[in-house]
């Protein structure tokens, strides 16, 4: 009897250990923070482009496309391998990349309609240097659901992060008082401002030459 009990106890321990090792890592907090910080970057870029010149959304669209394109700094489809838990759901890198795309795209000021379709996304930035940048976001039926989740997190102020209140972040973006900007260091703000100034001058020069 004692031997049977010991055997059953050992099996139970092994099953419990296996379940724990197989459980997907919960990255809700960390990836929400990453998404929020990137949203701050693109929102600050968009705000400064509007302040600096009349080229918006051209510069912001190019900056966004460069970041989220395949191989870009925000291409999380390739950096998050395996399964994870996010906001109570089991997800993979594809989901995370698409959700992040929807959220940061809204932070940039792009409409939900533009972000939801490949044709609409093409309008965000169709420059030859990143032609086709958006296609990886619409190559699977599940992409749409994840993009919509990101859009909803922004529109409804429900990104699952407890340390930040997102209320009205979008409506006050144009006033320069967006609480998102508090996530940027002064050094990062200076870097973005310099980038915007350089990009806007280049865009205006190109537009002038084409006239």
pLDDT digits (tens, 9 = 90+) for 76-121: 999 999 999 999 999 999 999 999 999 999 999 999 999 999 999 9
Residue 115's contacts (CB-CB under 8 Å, 6 or more residues apart) are: 101, 102, 105, 106, 121, 124, 147, 151
Tell me: pLDDT of 20 over 50.
Answer: no
Question: pLDDT band at 22, cuts 50/70/90?
Answer: low
Pairing between strand 25-26 and 84-86? parallel
pLDDT in tens, 8-19: 444 444 344 344
**What is the C-alpha to C-alpha distance for residues 92 and 109, in angstroms, rounded to an integer?**
26
**What is the C-alpha to C-alpha distance for residues 29 and 86, in angstroms, rounded to an integer?**
8
DSSP at 181:
G
Residue 180's contacts (CB-CB under 8 Å, 6 or more residues apart) are: 36, 39, 40, 43, 44, 107, 169
């Amino acid at each position: 009897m004692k031997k049977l009990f010991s055997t059953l106890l050992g099996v139970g321990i092994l099953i419990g250990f296996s379940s724990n090792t197989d459980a997907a890592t919960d990255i809700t907090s960390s990836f929400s923070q990453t998404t929020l910080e990137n949203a701050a970057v693109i929102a600050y870029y968009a705000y400064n482009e509007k302040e600096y010149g009349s080229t918006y959304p051209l510069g912001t669209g190019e900056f966004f496309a460069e970041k989220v394109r395949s191989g870009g700094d925000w291409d999380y489809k390739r950096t998050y391998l395996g399964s994870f838990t996010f906001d109570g759901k089991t997800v993979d890198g594809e989901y995370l990349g698409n959700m992040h795309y929807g959220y940061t795209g809204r932070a940039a000021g792009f409409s939900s309609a533009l972000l939801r379709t490949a044709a609409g996304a093409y309008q965000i930035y169709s420059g030859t240097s990143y032609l086709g940048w958006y296609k990886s976001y619409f190559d699977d039926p599940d992409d749409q659901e994840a993009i919509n989740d990101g859009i909803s997190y922004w529109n409804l102020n429900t990104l699952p992060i407890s340390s930040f209140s997102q209320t009205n972040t979008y409506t006050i973006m144009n006033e320069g008082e967006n609480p998102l900007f508090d996530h940027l260091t002064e050094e990062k703000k200076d870097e973005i401002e310099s980038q915007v100034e350089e990009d806007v001058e280049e865009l205006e020069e190109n537009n002038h030459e084409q006239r």
